[in-house]
Structure 1
Amino acid sequence: MATITSPGMASGLPIKEMVAQLVALERAPLTGLQSQVTKAQSKLSIYGTISSLVTTLGDAGAKLAEANAFKAVKATSSLPESIGVTVAAGTPPTGFSLEVQRLAQAQNTSSAVVPAGSGLGAGTLTITLGNWGSGSFVAGTETPVEITVEEGKDTLADIAKQINDSDAGVTATVLKDATGERLLLRSKATGAEMGFQVEAADADAGDGKDLGRLAYTGAGSPSTLTQAGLNAQLTINGVAIESATNTVKDSVAGLTFELKKVTTGPVDVSVSNDKDAMKKTVQGFVDAYNAVMDLLATTTKYDPETKVAGSLQGDSTATGLRNAIRSMMRSSTPGGEFTQLLDVGIEIKSDGKMSINSTKLDAALDKPGELGKLFGATSDDPTQRGFGLKLDAFADGLVESGGTLSNRTESLNASIKRTNKEMDKVVDRAARAETRYLAYYNAMDANVARLNSLNAYITQQITMWNRNTG
């Protein structure tokens, strides 16, 4: 009997091609299913962006509802190179006249000159922070710091390192020149109360060395005072005050003055409402609204000229979301002079875009208290709350679990999962069909081969019989 070595060899049929065509028919549904998955994934991506933009819109609403949203103020100095000023939100508009008679200074001392690299001997330096007052030293509340100097580690560089590594409240620097070295000490902080004295105890007064050259205990000390620790002196509206630092806080509530130079005359400082900052907050809300609504408009429209539909065209969730956001923008907040966005110049044009009527908004910004009510009024009744609070809650409700956007995302994910499973089934059915078709046609081909073999045998026998009887 003949052996089949290739499908269709005996029958002459293109079995592989036939089976491939039949399997292609079995796999045909995959095209439609894959298209469904692609469309669902596109929608899922768009809804992810929508959710992000809705969250941004809610955050913009929350920012409008903040207590200081419409209490932004700015402070200006007529001579900022001499006096800088910063102001806290909510500070009432006001004005002051300042003069700086003296800047705060840190105490500085310089030791006597010693030969470069020489040792000063073992002993102890005690550094105490305090106030020199009228010449006598009054120790402060900080615990004095002792610097123990050891033989062999007693150069000015060694001692400076020990001081800088300690918590003595001073910094040490070695100054070198042609005559030798000096130890310069400086308070870490300015002000009269941050002065210091240095007491020296020489461990061996007879060794020819003298750690005492670093001492400073007032006039006549081996070390000299190069700058006394001083408080800043200034006047505010003619009233004299002092400050331990050149950053003057809380002398006037809400204001911080940065003293940079002594002045030769009055410097005017003013505090006024910062309308630009408040407008920026409002503009942030308008931009957030337009961003989400532009995306919804683009993805839900149908272009009759190109006959191209947006990915969410006909999507009821997207359409419903647009309507819900529009309705939210028309909501009212009772209890104040302003009850709607339109009252303060925030308008929605015929093209659906939100814009700002600058004239109306400027007028509204002159009444920051009323604006605060419109956006941030609190109430146990959600319908009575300020627009900003309502918008924030509205956005949260859309994106949180169980919300419209969350549910739509879950629905799309579930649809993709179901379709992928259906595609797996189609692939599995096609694979099983291929095995079945190949088995069927191979069996048929084998039968044809057997018949062909039998036919050849019979033909041979007839031929031989004819020869024998001829």
Structure 2
Amino acid sequence: MAGSITSLGIGSGIDIESIVNQLVAVERRPIQLLETRQAELDIQISALGLIQESVSKFQTGISDLKLSSGFRSFSVTSSDDQILTAEAGEGAIPISSDIEVLTLAQKNKLASSAFASDESVVGNGQLNITVGTNSFSISIDDNNNTLEGIRNAINDNLDNTGVSASIITADDGSHLVLTSEESGTANELTVAVTGDSDGNDTDAAGLSILVFDRDTGGNGNGNGNGNGNNGGGPILNLQEIDIAQDATLRVDGFDVTRSSNEISDVIQGVTLSLKEIGTASLSVSEDRSVGKSAIEETVTAYNDLIISLNTQRESTLQGESLLLGIETRVRRAISNRFNVPGSNFQYLFDIGITFDRDGILSLDSDKFDQAIEDDFNGVVQLFTDPENGFAQAIDSILSSYVDTGGLIQARTDGLSESRSQIDDDIERIENRVALTEQRLRRQYAALDGLVGQLNATSNFLTQQLANLPTNTLINSRR
């Protein structure tokens, strides 16, 4: 009878399943508390991420003020953009120049005669390609002796010193085109052949159809049979579409030669882009308003940081000393005296940057404009001095918090480690609860079976008594 019981409570009639579940729920209560703590840690980690973003944004604004370029910008105008354009960068100064572009720099470009297709066989041997003073060689055999194969062999060669190969399919057929990757006479192309399979390394047949040598007439006959041109004259089996050419110009009467049409070392801080031959005037002007805009953005970023710190300190990160440390150190640095050589200003309030009664930073526009007018370089030095300047001081403080391995990451890592420890604790408790549940089920299964047996015995005795004759019961009562 009892052996047929397979579910708790069937034998006894008691809701043992509910009892076990309630006892297990009590055992699991610490897990719920730990999961709640994990959720709190997740929120704190996210809050620290928001603080990191705010500090980083403030630091970005400060970084722009570490360089003098953050306080001035230069614009360049050309009287004729079709002849030349220009951009100003670090180190530029206001200047006007007259520029005459005499020649434009060109890349050297050579083209072969027409072939029936890019699969046409050219010939076997060794190609020797020189770019300026640098050379590399390519073996051409039956595996790569087509126009396409030679193109790929040139482009894929690891020793390629600065030439690209392409195929142009025109009305008369396919042409192999070689182009120097850089412009200027220093990148002039030379192509020679040795070991041409037709026995002649210089003629316009076989692989030597690609020879282009302005000076020596190539390497002569590769096997000494006397064929080809050994007279020392040029061998120009390729057509020179574009010659290698330097850019030449005259800047304020001074002659300048460069290998590129992009020239950044003639006028201080200015990059010239030559477009066409002709004359144009160039004017570089200075704009000092960018410094004010940069400072206004930095002031806003600081105030956003303080708002973020206060918001988190009043909610998610209550009691977090890290937040107070950021605000205290930055505020102290802003209020500090800066002994900067070459500047008449020692405090930020000297140029109009002050705190109000609520700790909000603001910029007095009129006072700042006056400081710029009185001593522009002094204002710049107050921020940019690499030893004692404001920007460097603040940047160092902020870096200690947001850099890899900084204080915010260290705190975040600590919280993450605590969260991982809770995972371990939960796993340990889950295992313990599972064992407890197994034990309870065994115990209550045994109890259920015992109660079932007792109930069965009771029912049996009741039935037996009920079946006794009435006289027997009466006599038994006497």
- Shorter-chain TM range is 0.5 to 0.7
Aligned-pair CA distance for 1:13: 2.9
Q: 1:412 aligns with which of 412, 415, 427?
A: 415
Aligned-pair CA distance for 1:98: 1.9
Aligned residue runs from structure 1 range 85-104, under 5 A: 85-104=86-105
Q: Does 1:267 align with 2:281?
A: yes
Report the CA distance shift for 1:311/1:268 in structure 2 as closer, same or farther (over 3 A): same
Aligned-pair CA distance for 1:196: 7.9
**Normalization by structure 2: what TM-score?**
0.65
**Normalization by structure 1: what TM-score?**
0.66
Report the CA distance shift for 1:342/1:79 in structure 2 as closer, same or farther (over 3 A): farther
Matched residues in 1 for 2:166 and 2:4: separation?
Answer: 100
Aligned-pair CA distance for 1:20: 2.8
Aligned residue runs from structure 1 range 140-179, under 5 A: 142=133
Matched residues in 2 for 1:120 and 1:426: separation?
Answer: 79
Aligned-pair CA distance for 1:217: 6.3
Matched residues in 2 for 1:371 and 1:198: separation?
Answer: 60
Q: 2:398 aligns with which of 395, 402, 409?
A: 395
Which position in structure 1 is the counterpart of 2:265? 250
Note the residue ranges of structure 1 that are not aligned, 5 or more in a row. Answer: 130-140, 302-309, 380-384
Which position in structure 1 is the counterpart of 2:226? none
Which position in structure 2 is the counterpart of 1:132? none
Q: 1:370 aligns with which of 375, 378, 389?
A: 378
Q: Is the 8 A contact 1:123 1:203 kept in 2?
A: no
Q: Is the 8 A contact 2:73 2:288 kept in 1?
A: yes
Matched residues in 1 for 2:464 and 2:63: separation?
Answer: 100
| Higher mean displacement: 385-394 or 448-457 | 448-457
Report the CA distance shift for 1:430/1:293 in structure 2 as closer, same or farther (over 3 A): farther
Which position in structure 2 is the counterpart of 1:306? none
Say which SS state the counterpart of residue 65 (structure 1) adopts.
Answer: coil
Q: Per chain length, whose mean CA-contact separation is higher, i.e. which structure has more relative contact order (CA < 8 Å, sep 6+)?
A: 1
In the comparison of the two structures, how many residue pairs are matched?
Answer: 440
Aligned-pair CA distance for 1:257: 2.0
Q: Does 1:35 align with 2:33?
A: no
Report the CA distance shift for 1:244/1:4 in structure 2 as closer, same or farther (over 3 A): closer
Q: Does 1:457 align with 2:470?
A: no
Q: Is the 8 A contact 2:101 2:274 kept in 1?
A: yes
Aligned residue runs from structure 1 range 98-137, under 5 A: 98-104=99-105
Which position in structure 1 is the counterpart of 2:83? 82
Residue type matched to 1:435 in 2? R
Q: 1:334 aligns with which of 322, 332, 339?
A: 339
Matched residues in 1 for 2:415 and 2:127: separation?
Answer: 77
Matched residues in 1 for 2:469 and 2:297: separation?
Answer: 106
Residue type matched to 1:397 in 2? S
- C-alpha deviations, 1:399-434, integer Å up to 9, x for none? 579965355435534543555555556553585267
Note the residue ranges of structure 2 that are not aligned, 5 or more in a row. Answer: 216-232
Matched residues in 1 for 2:248 and 2:83: separation?
Answer: 14
Q: Is the 8 A contact 2:69 2:90 kept in 1?
A: yes
Aligned-pair CA distance for 1:387: 2.4
Say which SS state the counterpart of residue 17 (structure 1) adopts.
Answer: helix
Which position in structure 2 is the counterpart of 1:137? none
Q: Is the 8 A contact 1:119 1:209 kept in 2?
A: no
Identity %: 24
Report the CA distance shift for 1:413/1:233 in structure 2 as closer, same or farther (over 3 A): closer
Q: Is the 8 A contact 1:191 1:245 kept in 2?
A: yes
Q: Is the 8 A contact 2:76 2:282 kept in 1?
A: no
- C-alpha deviations, 1:197-246, integer Å up to 9, x for none? 999999779x9989899888699999999877665443322334444543
Matched residues in 1 for 2:303 and 2:368: separation?
Answer: 18
Say which SS state the counterpart of residue 257 (structure 1) adopts.
Answer: strand
Q: 1:237 aligns with which of 240, 245, 252?
A: 252
Kindly report the root-mean-square deviation, in angstroms, between the aligned alpha carbons of the 2 structures.
Answer: 5.7
Report the CA distance shift for 1:90/1:221 in structure 2 as closer, same or farther (over 3 A): closer
Q: Is the 8 A contact 1:26 1:430 kept in 2?
A: no
- C-alpha deviations, 1:12-68, integer Å up to 9, x for none? 432322333343344344444432221122112211332344345445434433475
Report the CA distance shift for 1:391/1:259 in structure 2 as closer, same or farther (over 3 A): same
